[in-house]
Amino acid sequence: MTTTTTLSVAGPNIKTKLPGPIAAKLLKDDDRLMSPAYTRSYPLVAKTGHGAIIVDVDGNEFLDFSAGIAVNSTGHCHPEVVAAVQKQAAELIHMSGTDFYYPQMTELADRLSAIAPMKGPHKFSYGNSGAEAVEAALKLARYHTKRQYVIAFYGAFHGRTMGALSVTCSKAQQRRRFSPLVPGVVHVPFPNMYRKPEGVSDDDYTKQTAAYIEDWVFRTEVPPEECAAIIVEAVQGEGGYLPCPPLFMKELRRLCDKYGIMLICDEVQAGMGRTGKWWAVEHTGVEPDMITIAKGIASGMPLGILMTRAELMDWVPGSHASTFGGNPVAIAAALATIDVLEREAVKNSETIGRYMMERMKTWPSKLPLVGDVRGLGLMIGVELVHDKAKKTLAGEQRDQVVELAFEKGVLFLGCGPNAVRLSPPLIITKEQADIAMNVLEQCILDVAEGKYVKPNWG
């Protein structure tokens, strides 16, 4: 694939001990000044980025397979995105679309409407993040249906603001000491095909997992006529990069249609081409009522969007808004991002993702620790286990693999209790994919063979 991004290097180039001297000093400043609630997997102190390469403050070059947590869909500082941001910043930065009008707001809405995963017409509400998009979806679902209950899933991550946190069920630490959360939320199991019971077919397991809602939740806890929404990720992100089986999404759609419930699909991490289609839910053949959009929409600029079927967005002025939501500079970045994705990057995500999965599908049979490799497009999870028969979680080893990869100059992150996520920019080349897979494979082997030495990062 030919991209418009000029890459100075294809892969990592580590020049100092990590962290380097400048980074080490800045880490002390960070410890002194910044919130201790931030989670950092390793001491990367970024300075510049181009394409899939991040350069730290000491000049070390890293191959980025995290993309700022799946945000930099067009890579770092894509020239078209940079040009769009610079042009817009010189013309108008802010006036607040909640009280005034911008032509950019409707321009972006039209572009998104054209690629929506559900039939139109559509309406849009702008915010600044995925969590804000989720908050808007939950509020609108309650407003429109005049119902109070929301069903979400174990393993789900929808954000950390109070409403989004209430439907999040990924890690106990994310909820610890913040209760009471927003009431009326019930969590149910999400299908994990790798961990389904022995002897049960995929379809039977999927149907049984979906049936839990109607057979148990609706019968014992939530009257279905009082349920406003079911919120689901088409690929669970923080839950371990678990694709939602198409049959499961179809069963959710059936339940929502039967009882008048809104189906909200959280596309914050999986959307905008990451799975090789514009939206991950498209892999299931199901049309949701609402989708939440953020991360990859604006290549790093803050933008969160709620898209719904138009007839659902029936709230009146003053019901919901955001001062900065739909900021002209963020929208300019989004419009340029869509241009790049439409022209080349969504197809590249599908092509390179398929290439990577073809190689990595052999890992569970040939590599120690690897229990499962799964994903869609460039949203791939590698689950590590101690015992492949018992599928015991190898969370500590996962962390060691991620740390070793950093030392070798490739940036991965964990997801779920024991998986490594691969979520690079959607413009990566086949050469960069091979470099990342080679490093990850070697790190897994090194950890399995006891060659991990805990880094002295201070």
| pLDDT tens per residue across span 43-62 | 999 999 999 999 999 999 99
- Whether the predicted model's global pTM rises above the 0.85 cut: yes
Q: Within a domain: residue 363?
A: no
Position 275 scores a pLDDT of 98
Position 458 scores a pLDDT of 61
Structurally, the chain folds into a number of domains equal to: 1
Q: Provide the 10 A C-beta neighbour count for residue 22.
A: 15
- Length of the chain (residues): 458
Query: Is the peptide bond preceding residue 36 cis, with omega within 30 degrees of 0?
Result: no
Which residues does residue 411 pair with via DSSP β-bridges, in sequence order?
A: 64
Residue 339: closest CA among 127, 114, 122: 114
pLDDT in tens, the chain (458 residues): 334 444 446 889 999 999 999 999 999 999 999 999 999 999 999 999 999 999 999 999 999 999 999 999 999 999 999 999 999 999 999 999 999 999 999 999 999 999 999 999 999 999 999 999 999 999 999 999 999 999 999 999 999 999 999 999 999 999 999 999 999 999 999 999 999 999 999 999 999 999 999 999 999 999 999 999 999 999 999 999 999 999 999 999 999 999 999 999 999 999 999 999 999 999 999 999 999 999 999 999 999 999 999 999 999 999 999 999 999 999 999 999 999 999 999 999 999 999 999 999 999 999 999 999 999 999 999 999 999 999 999 999 999 999 999 999 999 999 999 999 999 999 999 999 999 999 999 999 999 999 999 888 86
Q: Within a domain: residue 68?
A: no
Identify whether the C-beta of residue 433 lies closer than 8 Å to the C-beta of residue 356.
yes
Position 399 scores a pLDDT of 97
Determine the number of helices (DSSP H) and then strands (DSSP E) in the chain.
15, 17
Q: Within a domain: residue 238?
A: yes
Token pair of 142, please?
């309650």
How far lies 312's CA from each of 104, 141, 148, 305, in Å? 23, 8, 16, 15
Position 9 scores a pLDDT of 61
Q: Within a domain: residue 315?
A: yes
How far lies 90's CA from each of 83, 84, 102, 226, 325, in Å? 11, 10, 15, 49, 19
Q: Give the domain extent around 236.
A: 82-339
SS3 of residue 264 by DSSP = strand
Indicate the residue type of 99.
D
Q: Provide the 10 A C-beta neighbour count for residue 289.
A: 23
Which residues does residue 315 pair with via DSSP β-bridges, in sequence order?
A: none
Q: Within a domain: residue 271?
A: yes
The CA-CA-CA angle for residues 177, 178, 181, to 5°, reads 135
Position 3 scores a pLDDT of 40
Q: Within a domain: residue 144?
A: yes
Please enumerate in sequence order all residues whose Cβ is within 8 A of that of 82, keeping only pairs 6 or more positions apart, or say none: none
The CA-CA-CA angle for residues 238, 292, 307, to 5°, reads 170
Identify whether the C-beta of residue 35 lies closer than 8 Å to the C-beta of residue 263.
no
Which residues does residue 62 pair with via DSSP β-bridges, in sequence order?
A: 54
In whole angstroms, give the CA distance from residue 118 to residue 308.
9
Q: Within a domain: residue 395?
A: no
In whole angstroms, give the CA distance from residue 42 to residue 403.
6
CA dihedral 434, 439, 441, 445 (to 10 degrees): 160
Domain of 264, CATH number, reads 3.40.640.10
CA dihedral 112, 351, 238, 244 (to 10 degrees): 80
Position 1 scores a pLDDT of 36
Q: Within a domain: residue 454?
A: no
